[in-house]
Amino acid sequence: MAGRLSFANITALAPMVRVGTLPMRLLALDYGADVVYCEELIDMKMVQCHRVENEVLQTVDFVAPDERVMFRTCAREKRKVVFQMGTADPERALSVARLVEKDVAAIDVNMGCPKEYSTKGGMGAALLSDPDKIEAILTKLVGGVSLPVTCKIRILPSLDDTVTLARRIEKTGVAAIAVHGRLKEERPRHPVHCDYIGAVARAVSIPVIANGGSLDLVKCHDDIRAFKEACAASSVMLARAAMWNPSVFRRAGPLPLHDVMTQYLKYALRYDNHAFNSKYCLCQMLRDKVESLLGKRVQAAQNNRELSEAYGLDDVFEETQAELEARRHALRSPEWRRGDVVAMDGDVATMALKFQRRQYPPQLTPKMFLLEWSRRQKTAQPTYHTVQRAQDRAFQSTVTVDRKKYRSSLWEKSKKFAEQASAVVCLRALGIPEGREGEENGGRQQKRKMEDDRDSDEEKRKKRMSDGDRESDKNVEPTLHA
């Protein structure tokens, strides 16, 4: 099909846990990689995510119930990025593939990683001993999505068994097979088995992507062709060689490592990459220089500002933060806020929103504002009905106000946050100020109004008590003294 990603004669950034996030993928594309794989993402975590178009970062984010961004991508890599998942369940694999289908170029199933992170639950290299499940997963994906589907395997102890498995995989209709030329028990210190990869390449008609040559065979871009020829493969996938210096993909030769790390950090700042993930990737590039003065500063950094200072990128950090804050400010405009979409779920008004505690002044919450509003309207106090989801123990709450119901369609990490989210939905649906910092007639003004109302009520109560006492005095007969 026209426009589909081809795996023939390509050089790819291999999937690497904690390394294959957006900044590294973009950097690899800058330096000449044809295709980039994201880090392996587990189906059980991804299936709980919801898709968010991040207008500030201009990305598409897949966000877990606890608000962590599990996968972030952008338009720049849309036709080049392969989403790799860890799975042992055909139906769940298909659900995840359909979730990300319109934002990536292909879907890959990890069948080669030997680490416990991947093998628990029968995923990763554990699948190599269950070819029936391999076939079921790949067949379900090939038939269920419009994108190319691939898989990444390790070799089996027997050459014949490896070839037999590859042929069985080919029959499912996958677009390519990536072969790491080591047994699942072997590690990088063991030599890569180019002969096994070559046997697979000769046995199937689809592209075979050779993997595993970083330590022994691939030191620079010129070595990529030699590794491909040694394996008789159509394409090559690089992991550690690219992790150590992504400019290995440059035909003109690698760049100085400091320049590469600086460019990586610029992408990390631009796309708000988590500081600890950025620090991990920078330390991998530093390798034996991790105990240098720069390395120690990187290891000690606790946030992106400190990482920027270590590389002399203070001005870049400030400029990037100012640019992102300007976008946030534009999106906070009243016109944008009123764009909240209310949808009806039966008799419940819903909005897709999360409770963000930092948006509200200290000691003030949406529940407080809603309670105060109800009191002034002389309606019954709001009541909250909260449920917990078994699969991830997340919470969702429905608030009833004046016999109408409101809730957020997104799940929260705690009962308190779920109740606050439902209160926000109610306040926004009714057009009531909720007290957010910077909100017109909100924040401190609302707090003062609530305090003034309470003071006024207290004065009225005292006056009623005083009037009652005087009235009571009139009705008491005078005491007769002897």
The residues that are catalytic are 113
Which stretches within 145-292 are classed as H helix? Answer: 159-170, 194-203, 222-231, 240-244, 257-270, 275-286
CA distance readout (Å), 339 to 78, 122, 285, 332, 405: 28, 45, 44, 11, 20
To which residue do tokens 């990603």 refer? Answer: 5
Residue 26 CB partners (closer than 8 Å, separation 6+): 74, 76, 77, 267, 271
3-state secondary structure of 196: helix
3-state secondary structure of 314: helix
* Joined tokens for residue 48: 């709980």
**210 burial type by CB count under 10 A (0-12 exposed, 13-18 middle, 19+ buried):** buried
Per-residue H/E/C for 197-237: HHHHHHHCCCCEEEECCCCCCCCCCHHHHHHHHHHCCCEEE
Q: Residue 461 corresponds to which amino acid? A: R
3-state secondary structure of 405: strand
Residue 421 CB partners (closer than 8 Å, separation 6+): 353, 354, 355, 397, 407, 408, 410, 412
Residues facing 107 on adjacent strands: 83, 149
Residue 188 CB partners (closer than 8 Å, separation 6+): 214, 215, 240
Under 8 Å between Cβ of 332 and 391: no
- Tally Cβ neighbours within 10 Å of residue 478: 5
Residue 270 CB partners (closer than 8 Å, separation 6+): 57, 320
Under 8 Å between Cβ of 147 and 107: yes
* Joined tokens for residue 157: 């102890």
* Joined tokens for residue 138: 């790949």
Say which DSSP state 348 is in. Answer: E
